[in-house]
Amino acid sequence: MPSQAKILVVDDERLIRWTLVQALGELGHEVSEAADGAAALAQVAAEAPDLVILDIRLPGLGGLEVLQALRREHPETSVVMISAHGTLETAVEAMKLGAADYIRKPFQAADVQHTVSRLLTSQRAERERDLVLGREARSYGLESLVGVSDSMQQVRGLIAQLSAAGASTVLVEGESGTGKGLVARLLHYTGPRGRKPFVEVSCTALAEGLVESELFGHERGAFTDAKARKQGLLELADGGTVFLDEIGDMPLAAQAKLLRAMEDRLFKRVGGVRDIRVDVQVVAATHRDLGQAVAEGRFRKDLYYRLAVVRIALPPLTAHREDIPLLAEAFIRHYNRELGRSLTGVSPAALSLLGAYRWPGNVRELRNVIERAVLLGTHPELQPEDLPAGIAQPTAHEPHASGLSSLPPSGLSMQEVERGLILRALQAEGGNQTHAARRLGISRDTLRYRMKKFGLGAEAG
C-alpha cells in the first residue's frame, strides 16, 4: 500500500463526496472535499494535495476547465476524473488534456481504492526516479573531468559546446581507460536530456545473435525463446541518451539497422511490423581505428560517417602527465569518503614514480592504483611502498621523471630527489607556492614545511 497521501474530492453531489471520503479514509489518506470548481482551485493552492478526484460536471467552472487550470498551475498534482455513462467521450478528452485516469459512475468503492493506490504508487516511483536523476546530474558536472592540461581543457570546452547545442550524435575515441564513459555521461547530464534516461550498451558484451533483440526489442514468438514482448534498449532510452560503448565490436547486420534508427529515429522490434519512433541522443565510443575497420570491411562506411559528424578524441594519460597530481588528489578525496580513510595526499617520492610510469591502463589504472593505496596504505601520505611493485620498482625500460633510467653506482639520496622535485615545481610555477603544491599533489602547508626543511628560499623563484 502506498504511504499516506493528501487527496481532494471535488463533486457537487454530497453523497458521492461522502462515499469517496470514507473509501479513501479507510486507506489512511488525508481527504478533503469541495463542491465546485472555484472552491477546488482555492483548496489546491492552499493545501497542495497529491491527487485530485474531479467530477466532469460541476456548477459554474466546469471539470475540464478546472483540469486545465490544475495542469497549468499545479502540474505535479495528479487528477482523476469522474464521468457518468453519458460523458465517456468527455472523459477521453480529459485524458488528452492531462488527466491521469477516470472513474465511471456508478462505481464501487474497491475500484476507486485500486485506481488511487495504483496512481499514487506510480507517482511516488516517478518522484524517486527524479530524485535519483537529480543526484546523477549533480555528480556529473564538467568539473568531474579533472585536468589542467591543454588537451583536457579542449575536451571540456567541446563537451560544453555540444551540451549547449544538444548534439544528437557524438563519437568518442580513445584508448581503453581514458574516460570515454565519463565523457558520455557528461554529454548527457550537462545537456537538455539530463533528466531523461541514460542507457549504456556494451557492444562487446552482447552475444552476436542477440544484438538486435537487445537494441530494438522483440515481439512474442519472434524466435524460440521469445516468450513475451520485450522493449529494446533504444526504446528504453527514449527522450534521453543511449551510450554505445565499443561500437567497433558491433556485428555488421546490426550496424545496418542501427543506421536506419539513427537516420529516421524509427525501427521495428525483431518480429514486429509496426514502426517505433524514438528521440534519443546517440553517443558511441571506441578504442579502435574505425577508419581502418571500414577499409577492412569490418565496419559500415555509411554508419561511420554518420557517427563521425562530431568527434571527441581523448588522449592517453602519458600525453598529459601534468594532470597526474590532480587526478591522484581527486581519487584520494573520492576514496577517503568511500572507504572512511583520511590520506592527506601523495608524497613527492610517490608522485615522482606515478609521473614516470607508462600507464598502459590510462586513467582507469591510476584510479585503481589510488584505490588500492588508500585501502591498504598505513601512512598519512601515500608513499612509494604503498604502490604496486611495477610502479614502486620501475624497470630499466620505464622512463624516470628525472631522466635517469637507472640509479647511479654511488646510490641516490631520497632527500635530494625530493628537494629537486620541489625546486623544479617552484621554478616551473614562477615561485607560486599554491600552484607548485598542486603540481606536486600536496597541500600548500606541506610544501612550505618542506621548503623550510630543505632550506629553499630565494633560489626557488
Question: Over the stretch 317-329, which tens digit does the pLDDT of each residue have?
Answer: 999 999 999 999 9
Q: How many domains does the chain have?
A: 3
237 and 183 in a common domain: yes
309 and 323 in a common domain: no
Q: Which residue has the higher pLDDT, 456 or 10?
A: 10
pLDDT for residue 460 is more than 70? no
pLDDT for residue 373 is more than 60? yes
273 and 214 in a common domain: yes
Residue 246 lies in a domain: yes
pLDDT for residue 404 is more than 60? no
Measure the CA–CA gap between 116 and 20, rounded to whole angstroms.
Answer: 11
When the pLDDT of each residue in the chain is averaged and rounded to a whole number, the result is 86
Average pLDDT over residues 117-137: 71
pLDDT band at 3 (very low <50, low <70, confident <90, very high): low
Q: What integer pLDDT is reported at residue 409 of this predicted model?
A: 54
Give the tens place of pLDDT for each residue, 241-259: 999 999 999 988 889 889 9
Q: What integer pLDDT is reported at residue 207 of this predicted model?
A: 75
Average pLDDT over residues 347-362: 92
- Of 75, 109, 133, the last residue of a domain is 133
pLDDT band at 386 (very low <50, low <70, confident <90, very high): very high
Phi, psi (degrees; rounded to nearest 5) at 145 = -90, 90
**Residues ≥6 apart with Cβ < 8 Å to 435:** 429
Say which CATH number the domain at 256 has: 3.40.50.300
Q: What integer pLDDT is reported at residue 399 of this predicted model?
A: 44
Average pLDDT over residues 208-235: 84
183 and 281 in a common domain: yes
Average pLDDT over residues 283-309: 94
The number of C-alpha atoms within 13 Å of 348 and in the hemisphere containing its C-beta is: 20
Measure the CA–CA gap between 58 and 83, rounded to whole angstroms.
Answer: 11
pLDDT for residue 393 is more than 80? no
Question: Of the segments 4-13, 220-229, 418-427, 444-453, which one has the largest average pLDDT value?
Answer: 4-13
Q: Which three cell numbers stand for residue 287?
A: 578504442
158 and 116 in a common domain: no
Q: What integer pLDDT is reported at residue 17 of this predicted model?
A: 93
Average pLDDT over residues 388-412: 57
Residue 192 lies in a domain: yes
Q: What integer pLDDT is reported at residue 229 of this predicted model?
A: 84
Average pLDDT over residues 366-388: 93
**Residues ≥6 apart with Cβ < 8 Å to 414:** 349
Secondary structure (H, E, C), 185-206: HHHHHCCCCCCCCEEEEECCCC
Q: Which residue has the higher pLDDT, 221 or 372?
A: 372
262 and 169 in a common domain: yes
Q: What integer pLDDT is reported at residue 19 of this predicted model?
A: 93
Give the tens place of pLDDT for each residue, 57-75: 899 899 999 999 999 999 8
244 and 114 in a common domain: no
pTM for this one?
Answer: 0.62
Instruction: Provide the residue type at 423 as one letter.
Output: L
- Of 286, 284, 287, 288, residue with least CA distance to 306: 284
pLDDT band at 121 (very low <50, low <70, confident <90, very high): confident
Give the tens place of pLDDT for each residue, 248-295: 999 888 898 899 899 988 888 888 888 899 999 999 999 999 999 999
- Of 277, 294, 313, the last residue of a domain is 313
294 and 359 in a common domain: no
12 and 79 in a common domain: yes
pLDDT for residue 450 is more than 90? no
Measure the CA–CA gap between 8 and 14, rounded to whole angstroms.
Answer: 14
355 and 324 Cβ atoms separated by less than 8 Å = yes
Q: What percent of the chain has pLDDT over 70?
A: 89
Average pLDDT over residues 166-170: 91
168 and 309 in a common domain: yes
Q: What integer pLDDT is reported at residue 401 of this predicted model?
A: 43
Q: What angle do CA 401, 402, 406 make, to 5 degrees?
A: 95
At 56 the three-state DSSP class reads coil
pLDDT for residue 128 is more than 70? no
pLDDT for residue 149 is more than 80? yes
Residue 138 lies in a domain: no
pLDDT for residue 398 is more than 90? no
pLDDT band at 106 (very low <50, low <70, confident <90, very high): confident
Give the tens place of pLDDT for each residue, 429-441: 778 888 777 777 6
Number of H helices, E strands in the chain: 19, 16
- Of 240, 245, 277, 252, residue with least CA distance to 262: 277
118 and 172 in a common domain: no
Q: What integer pLDDT is reported at residue 394 of this predicted model?
A: 60
Q: What integer pLDDT is reported at residue 144 of this predicted model?
A: 84
Range of the domain at 397: 318-460
